[in-house]
Structure 1
Amino acid sequence: MAWDFLNFVAVAAFAFSGAIVAMSERYDIFGVIILGIATPFAGGIARNLFLQQDVVHIWEQGIFLYVAVGTIMIVYFFPKGWVMFWNRWNVYLDAFGLSAFAIQGALFAMNNHLPVGAVLFSAIITGVGGGVTRDVLAQRRPMVLHTEIYAVWALFAGAVIAFGIIDYTNSIQLYILFGAIITLRLLSFHMNWHLRFRDLYRI
Structure 2
Amino acid sequence: MYDIALLEYLGIFAFAASGAYVAIEEKFDLFGIYILATVTAMGGGVLRDIVTNVGIPAFFSNYKTIPFIILGATIPILLRGKLKYNTLFVVVDAIGLSAFFVSSGLKAIESGYNLMLFLFAASITGVGGGMLRDIITNRKPEIFKTDIYCVAGIVGSLLLWFFYPILGAHTAQHLSLITIFSVRMVCYMKKINLPVIN
Question: Do the structures match in fold with TM over 0.5?
Answer: yes
**Gap runs ≥5 in structure 2:** none
Conserved in 1, the CA contact under 8 Å of 2:156 and 2:179?
A: no
Residues 65-76 of structure 1: pairs in structure 2 closer than 5 A: 65-76=66-77
Cα offset, 1:21, TM superposition: 2.0
Cα offset, 1:59, TM superposition: 3.6
Q: What SS does structure 1 have at the residue aligned with 2:112?
A: coil
Residues 91-102 of structure 1: pairs in structure 2 closer than 5 A: 91-102=90-101
Conserved in 2, the CA contact under 8 Å of 1:6 and 1:104?
A: no
Conserved in 2, the CA contact under 8 Å of 1:161 and 1:168?
A: no
Cα offset, 1:159, TM superposition: 0.7
CA offset digits 1:57-95 (Å, max 9, x no partner): 54422111222123323332x233324x2x355544432
The aligned counterpart of 2:47 is 46
Conserved in 2, the CA contact under 8 Å of 1:107 and 1:168?
A: no
The verdict on how the C-alpha distance between 1:145 and 1:161 changes in structure 2, with shifts beyond 3 A counting, is same
1:182 to 2:181 alignment: yes
Give me the identity figure in percent.
28
| Cα distance in 2, alignment partners of residues 71 and 91 from structure 1 | 14
1:36 to 2:13 alignment: no
The aligned counterpart of 1:169 is 169
The verdict on how the C-alpha distance between 1:140 and 1:168 changes in structure 2, with shifts beyond 3 A counting, is farther
The verdict on how the C-alpha distance between 1:120 and 1:59 changes in structure 2, with shifts beyond 3 A counting, is closer
The aligned counterpart of 2:132 is 133
Between Structure 1 and Structure 2, how many residues are aligned? 195
Conserved in 2, the CA contact under 8 Å of 1:123 and 1:157?
A: no
CA offset digits 1:94-116 (Å, max 9, x no partner): 32332221112212212222222
Conserved in 2, the CA contact under 8 Å of 1:105 and 1:123?
A: yes
Residues 1-203 of structure 1: pairs in structure 2 closer than 5 A: 1-56=2-57, 58-76=59-77, 78-83=78-83, 85=84, 87-89=85-87, 91-146=90-145, 148-164=147-163, 167=167, 169-170=169-170, 174-196=173-195, 201=198
Q: Which amino acid aligns with 1:20?
A: Y
Conserved in 2, the CA contact under 8 Å of 1:120 and 1:162?
A: no
Cα offset, 1:147, TM superposition: 5.2
Q: Which runs of 4+ in 1 moved over 6 A?
A: none
Conserved in 2, the CA contact under 8 Å of 1:94 and 1:131?
A: no
What is the RMSD computed on CA atoms of the aligned residues? 2.5
Q: Which amino acid aligns with 2:50?
A: L
Cα offset, 1:173, TM superposition: 5.5
| Cα distance in 2, alignment partners of residues 40 and 106 from structure 1 | 18
Cα offset, 1:135, TM superposition: 2.1
After alignment, is 64-73 or 117-126 more displaced? 64-73
Q: What SS does structure 2 have at the residue aligned with 1:52?
A: coil
Instruction: State TM-score, norm by structure 1.
Output: 0.82
The verdict on how the C-alpha distance between 1:82 and 1:151 changes in structure 2, with shifts beyond 3 A counting, is same
Conserved in 2, the CA contact under 8 Å of 1:99 and 1:154?
A: yes
Conserved in 2, the CA contact under 8 Å of 1:43 and 1:129?
A: yes
